[in-house]
Amino acid sequence: LRPMRWFLCLLCLQFAAFAAAICLEDGIGPLHRRNLSSEGGLRYPVGIWVNQWASGEIMAAMAQILIEEKLGFHVFTQKGPVTLAQMYAIAGCKTPTVKEDRGCEPAPKQTYFHVGMEGWTGYNRPIWDDLQRDFPATAPVNVGHIGYNGEAGQYVMPEVLQPAQAEGLYLEFYRSYNASHHPGRFFHRISAVKTSDLKPCNETYLVDPALMKTYLEVTGDLHGVELLNGTVRGKCFQDYFWFPPACRLESSSPCFLFLTSSGYEYHMMMQRATIFDMPVVPVDVLDWNTYTKLAMEISALFYWWEPDPTFIGRGVQMVSYPRYNGSAWDQGLQVSMTESVPLEKYVSYDLEVVAPTVKELISAFSLNLDVVNGLLLAQKIHSSSAMDTACSWLKESRTVWEEWLPDTTKCFPQFGLFDELAEVFLHSREGNTSHFTCKACPSGTFSAPLRDKKGLTFVCRSCAPGFIQSLGASTACEPCPVGQHQEDSGASTCSRCAVGSYQNATGQSLCKKCPEKRTTLGLAAEALAECVCKAGLIEVEGQCVPCIEGLHCPIGSTIEGLLTALPSVNESDDGAQRPCLLPGYNSDPQNPLAIYRCRDHCPGGSPGSCSDGYTGVTCAECPRGTFESLQGRCAKCVEGNTGFWLIAGAILLLSGVFPAYVLLTEPYSPKSRVTGVVITVLGLLVTVVQNLLVIRTAPTTWPSVMLVATNVLSGVTLDPQLVGAACVGFDAVTMYFLRVLVFPVVIGILLLMFAVTQLFPSLFHCVIRGLLACYRPLAKIAKMPMPSIKAYQPWTWYGTACVIGKFCQVTFPTMANVGLSPMMCYSHPGGQMWSVVSYSSTACGTNEHVWMLIVGGVLLTFTTAFLVLCIWAGHSAPRLSLRGQAAVKFLFEDFRPDMVFFGVVTLMRGACLSLPSVFVPNRPNVQLVMMHSVMLISLVLQGYCQPWKSPVLNLVDTIAQCLFLTLLGVGLGGLEHSEAAVEVLHGFGTMVCISQFVVFGLVLSTLSVALLLDKFFRSEALGRYCSALGEAPNSALIMFLLENLASSIQKNASHRRSISSALDQLGTHDARMILMALVILESEIGLSATKAAGISLPRDAAVTRMSNTSEPSRVSAGIPTAAAKRRKAKRLSQVEFGKWMQSQECLKSQESQGSLTNQVSPGSLKNQVSQESLKSPESQKSLKSQDSLKDVVSEEPDDMVAQAF
C-alpha cells in the first residue's frame, strides 16, 4: 500500500502545482515545466524534504519557487520533524520519519527526494557517517553551508536583564549567576510554576545512567545522584526537581528555573550549576506550547536557538559561557559554550546527472542570519505562510538570488554548450544565449574548456581521428589502442585493424599494411611480427615461398611450425591450423621442403612421420631387424623364421606338385567335374587377389578392407619379403632380385623333379608310397577313394611342360607386374625426382634402378615369350602331336571345346592391368580409366562367350568381374577430395570387397560340402547339380528326341518348303544354336548330316592317333581335336550343302515321297553312331536304355517329352 500511497500523494501534489499561481513575473508556468528522467525511463518531479520548523520551511519554499519558476522543473515536497528524517529521506529510505524502522533495508536503489535545506549536520554527525558507510550508492551529498549557523543556548528576557544591569549585575555572562551574587532575586521562585506543567523526574535525563555517571565523574557531586539497583540516577526532589548544591541548604540563595523542552541542555545545565555554583534548577516542560507560555509568563532562564521565530523581536539575550572546548566536550565536560552549528544543504546522489542546474542552484544558495531573522519576523508579524514569505522576499531581493541561478552558458567539466532551439552543441556563446544551456557531452566528444569575455565555460568537441570516447560526459578522449584505429572524428569506438594490416602505435587514424604475400591471423594485429605468410605460402628464412604439393600451408605457416606439427593430421583437425604434411606425403626433417609422395604408410603431419614401423623418406623401408609382414606392417625378425617359412613352402610345393601333375595330365573331358570346378574357383580367387594387388598401386583412396585383405592374401604372389627375407639384411634392390628369381626357381624345381623321376624312378615310387601311406588314414576317415600308385608314373616332358605352363598361367598377372615394376616410376612433388612405385625408396635413374630394369627386362622377356607361346598354342594346337597337345593342355582344360582361345584372353587381361602404371604413373585417374576399360572388355567377352565348361564358373567369373569394375569405380571416386564423398565411397567399397570374397566363399563352401556328401554317399549327383546350376540333361532322353526328330523329318519330307520357310523365320541366335547342335552331333558323337546325303566325311587324324596310342589316358589333350572337328564339320557341311542344293535344282520336278525316303533311311541315325563308341560297355548300356525308353514312350511320346521338359 505504501507505493500506492506515494503515488497518490505525487498526483495530488502535481495537481496542486499545476493549479497554483506563479510567484515571479517571468517565472515558468506549470504547463512548461518538466520532470526528471532516470536511466530506466522513469519520470518524476524534483523532491524537496522540508524540515518542520519556520526557517526550514521558508528556505525550502525559496528553493521550490526558484526550481519551479526559474529552472522549469516540477517539484513536490514533504515535511519531517528533524534533520535525521531529512537525511534518511534523501538517502532513499522508504519510512524516514519512523524511528523504529527508517525503511532503509534492503539498500535503496532509487530516491525521490533530491533537495534538503537547513540541515543540522553537526548535531547528527554519527548518523551522517553511518549513512555514508552503509549506503554509499545513495547517501545524501552535502553541497555546503547555507550562509548562517545554528545557535543554541540559554537565553534571558530583557525584563530581567535591565533591573540587574541597574544594580551592576550583567546577567548575559555566566559569572553573574554565581550564588554569591544572589541572582535569584531577579527571577521568579520555583513555586511560580505548576508541577502539572512539568515532566516528572523519571521522564527526564535524570534516569539516563550514562549521562548521570558522566555528571558524577566531572562534578564529584555525590549528593546530586543516587545509586538505584546498581545504576546511577539523578537525585529527584519533590518528584519533579533536581537541586544543585547551591539550592540544597536552607540558608542558600533563592533558586530559580531553567526551562527546556525535550530535555535540550538539561544535563548541561546540571554540570554548569554545580561547577559554577549557580542556583539554577533545570526543569523539562511537558510540551512545546507550555514551554513557550511559561517562558513568556515567568522570569527564568530558558533554552532557545536561532534561527527561530518563537522569541524573535523580544530582545532576548544569550548567556555567554566559556568558549567552546571540544576536547572537554569529548570527555563529557560540557560547561563551555555550545558549538555553533553550520547549517548545510543536501542533495541526492544522482541530482548532478538528472538535473545539474538544480544542484548548481542549491550549491549557490546562501543567506546570512540577519536576513533569515528578518524573514521570520515578517512572517510572524504578517502571520503569512512560508511560501508567501519566501515569495515576497524573492520579489524584493531579485539581485540577491539571481546570482544563485546557474548561468546557462556556464558549463562545468563533462558538460558543453547546447542550443536547445537548434538542438546542436556549440563551440562558442556569442549572440543570443537565451536558448543556450549545458548538456552532458555525448559519446564521441569530450568537454573542453572555453575562456572568453564572460569567463570560463566548457564546450563539447569531437574526438580527433585516432581518438574515441565511448562513455560520454568525459573531459578527454582516449587514444585508440595498438591494433586499432579510427579514421573519423567524433567516434565512440575504435575499429580493429583488418586482416592483412596492423598498428603498433596508439591514437592512429589508419592501420599499416602487411608486406606483400603476408597477412595476419585475425583482426587487431599489434605489430609487424604478426604479419605472417598467407595461406598456400610458407616462411623460409624470412621469405614467403609457395607451398608445393603435399604440404598443407594455412595462414602463418613456417618451417619451425612444420617441424613441430602433429605426428598425424587431417585437414579437418585442429592441428591443420599449423603447417603439416598431407597424408600420403613425407619429407626429411633435415630438408623438410623436399617433399616425397608415398604409396603407403605416410600419415602426414611432421616430416619423418611414418606409420606401422616404416622408415625412410617414402616410408617404404623396414628398420634393420624387422620385415614387412602379411599385415602390412614391420614385424620383428625371429631367428629361424625365414628358414622355417622357406622349408614350409618347399614342403607345400612338393606335396602339391604331384597331385597337380596327375590332374593336369588327365584326358580332357567336355563335361566338368566337381573337383575340377573347385580347383578352378580357387584359381579364379588367386587371380582376383593378384589383380587387386595390381590395382592397389594406383594412388587413390581404397577401402581399408581391401588393403587388409590383399595384405593377408599377398602370399599368393610368392613375395620373399613376406617370409622375412629382409631379416637377412637385403636392401630393396636385392629384394626385387629375389622376387624375380622366385619364378625361375620354381620352374627349376619342377624341371629337377622331372629329371629325378626319369633318372631315379624307384626313388620316386618310394616317395609316392610314403605320401600315400600318410594319406590313407585321412581317406578312410573322409570315406574318400585311395588313388592308385599306378597313377603316379615318372614325369614326362609334356606333362612337366603342362605343370610349368599352369604355374606360369596362374602367376601370370604377378609375373607381368613384377617384370614391369622397374618401369613404373612416379614423380615426387616438384618433378625433380622419380621413384619406383613398388620400391619407392629406390630412385629412378640410379644404378640400382638400372639393375632392376635389367633383371625386370629378363623376367618381362620370359613373360612375353610365354604369352606368345600361349597364343601360338591356342592357334596351332590341333596341328600338334598328341604329346604337344598334352604339353599345352593347361591353357584350355577349363574351357568349352569351342573356346580354346579364352585362356589367352585371361592372360592378356592380367598383363594389361599392369600397363597403365607404366604409361601414366602420375595420372591415377587415367590409370583407373584404362584399368576399367580392360576389365570392361574382359567382362563383355566373358558375357558373350560364356567360355567356362561349368555354368557356375561362368556365373562366378561374371560376378567377380562386375564387382571388380565397381571397385575400380570406387577408386575413381576416391580421387575426389570431398570428405563426405570419400566417406560414402569408402563404405560402399567396403561392401563391394566383402561381397567379392563372400561370393567365392559361398561357392567354394557349397561345392566342397557337395563333394564331401557325394563321396560319403558314393554319388556325384549333388556335385554335378551345383556345378551345372541345375540338373544335367538326360542322355537317353536326348537320344529319344533325336530318333523322333529323324522320323519326323522323314514323315514330313513333303513339307520341305514349309520347314525351310519356318527355319527362315527363326532368329539368328536360334538358327546358330541349331547349327551348333548339328556340328556337335557330328564332331563329338559321330552323327553326320552329310552322310544322310550320301557324302562320307573323313574322321579326324587326331582321333585315329589318339586311339592307336599306348597311353591315351595320359597323353590325350582332347580340346584342340574337338574344336578342330567342330570347325571342319561346319566347313564341310557348308560345302556339301552347296552340292546338295545343286542336285535339288535337277530334282525339282521329281519331288516325291519315295525319293525323299531313299535319301534318309529310318535307321540312319543309329547307323551313324561311331562303331568305336559302341564297343565300350557304357555305350552298350546306353543303347539298351535308349531302346527300352523308346519302347516305353512309343505309346505316349508327347506326354513323355512334355514331362522331360
* Of the candidates 1169, 1084, 1174, the residue with the CA atom closest to the CA atom of residue 1123: 1084
Of 132-136, 193-197, 312-316, 776-780, least confident by mean pLDDT is 776-780
Q: Map residue 103 onto helix, strand or coil.
A: coil
pLDDT number for residue 789: 52
pLDDT number for residue 399: 87
Look up cell 624312378; give the residue.
761
Cβ contact 603:609 at 8 Å: yes
Q: 784-822, pLDDT tens digit by residue?
A: 555 555 556 777 888 888 888 888 888 888 888 888 888
Of 285-289, 1031-1035, 1143-1147, least confident by mean pLDDT is 1143-1147
Give residue 277's pLDDT band: very low, low, confident or very high (50, 70, 90).
Answer: very high
pLDDT number for residue 1201: 33
Q: Residue 585's beta-bridge partner residues?
A: 597
Is the pLDDT reported for residue 320 higher than 90?
Answer: yes
Within 52-206, residue ranges assigned H as helices are: 54-69, 83-90, 125-134, 158-166
Region 76-86: mean pLDDT is: 91
pLDDT number for residue 1159: 38
Region 1131-1160: mean pLDDT is: 48
Cβ contact 848:842 at 8 Å: yes
Is the pLDDT reported for residue 108 higher than 90?
Answer: no
* Of the candidates 573, 520, 571, 575, the residue with the CA atom closest to the CA atom of residue 550: 571
* Of the candidates 401, 392, 395, 399, the residue with the CA atom closest to the CA atom of residue 364: 401
* Of the candidates 412, 432, 403, 406, the residue with the CA atom closest to the CA atom of residue 420: 432
pLDDT number for residue 158: 93
pLDDT number for residue 1190: 39
Cβ contact 36:355 at 8 Å: yes
Distance CA 272, CA 857 (A): 136
Is the pLDDT reported for residue 832 higher than 90?
Answer: no
Would you tell me how many other CB atoms lie within 10 Å of the CB of residue 137? Answer: 11
Region 203-226: mean pLDDT is: 91
Distance CA 981, CA 986 (A): 8
Higher pLDDT, 294 or 1079: 294
Looking at every residue in the chain, the average pLDDT score rounds to: 79
pLDDT number for residue 576: 47
Q: 143-190, pLDDT tens digit by residue?
A: 999 999 988 899 999 999 999 999 999 999 999 999 989 999 999 999
Q: 933-988, pLDDT tens digit by residue?
A: 988 998 898 888 888 888 888 888 899 889 888 888 888 887 776 667 777 877 88
Cβ contact 631:622 at 8 Å: no
Cβ contact 404:446 at 8 Å: no
Both ends of the chain: CA-CA distance in Å? 107
Cβ contact 257:187 at 8 Å: yes
Residue 991 exposed, middle or buried by CB count within 10 Å (0-12, 13-18, 19+): middle
Cβ contact 459:426 at 8 Å: yes
Higher pLDDT, 584 or 669: 584
Largest CA distance in the chain: 200
Q: 115-124, pLDDT tens digit by residue?
A: 999 998 888 8
Q: Report in angstroms the alpha-carbon separations of 375 from 56, 397, 399, 1033.
A: 11, 12, 17, 143
pLDDT number for residue 996: 84
Give residue 77's pLDDT band: very low, low, confident or very high (50, 70, 90).
Answer: very high
Our measurement of the distance from residue 633's CA atom to the centroid of its chain's CA atoms, rounded to an integer in Å, reads 33
* Of the candidates 979, 939, 937, 982, the residue with the CA atom closest to the CA atom of residue 960: 939
pLDDT number for residue 1135: 52
Residue 592 exposed, middle or buried by CB count within 10 Å (0-12, 13-18, 19+): buried
Distance CA 302, CA 989 (A): 114
Our measurement of the distance from residue 15's CA atom to the centroid of its chain's CA atoms, rounded to an integer in Å, reads 64
pLDDT number for residue 709: 80
pLDDT number for residue 389: 93
- The three cell numbers of residue 240 are 519533579
pLDDT number for residue 1138: 55
Of 103-107, 204-208, 719-723, least confident by mean pLDDT is 719-723
Give residue 1010's pLDDT band: very low, low, confident or very high (50, 70, 90).
Answer: confident
1167: Cα within 13 Å, side-chain hemisphere = 9
pLDDT number for residue 255: 92
- Backbone φ, ψ for residue 193 (5° rounding): -110, 140
- The three cell numbers of residue 1100 are 579326324
Question: What percent of the chain has a predicted confidence (pLDDT) above 70?
Answer: 79
Q: 402-454, pLDDT tens digit by residue?
A: 888 887 788 888 889 998 888 899 888 887 776 788 888 999 999 999 988 87
Region 22-47: mean pLDDT is: 86
Give residue 1143's pLDDT band: very low, low, confident or very high (50, 70, 90).
Answer: low
Give residue 1048's pLDDT band: very low, low, confident or very high (50, 70, 90).
Answer: confident
- The three cell numbers of residue 1173 are 563308341
Of 24-38, 222-236, 278-292, 674-688, least confident by mean pLDDT is 674-688
Region 583-595: mean pLDDT is: 85
Is the pLDDT reported for residue 541 higher than 80?
Answer: yes
pLDDT number for residue 1177: 43
* Of the candidates 137, 92, 151, the residue with the CA atom closest to the CA atom of residue 116: 92
Q: Report in angstroms the alpha-carbon separations of 515 from 164, 338, 502.
A: 103, 81, 11
Q: 683-694, pLDDT tens digit by residue?
A: 888 888 888 888
pLDDT number for residue 170: 92
Region 383-404: mean pLDDT is: 90
Q: Report in angstroms the alpha-carbon separations of 269 from 274, 278, 287, 329, 801.
A: 8, 9, 19, 14, 148
Give residue 281's pLDDT band: very low, low, confident or very high (50, 70, 90).
Answer: very high
Distance CA 445, CA 1076 (A): 106
Find all residues with CB under 8 Å of 1145, minimum gap 6, and list them: none
- Backbone φ, ψ for residue 738 (5° rounding): -60, -40
Distance CA 1022, CA 1020 (A): 6
Is the pLDDT reported for residue 632 higher than 90?
Answer: no
Would you tell me how many other CB atoms lie within 10 Å of the CB of residue 961? Answer: 22
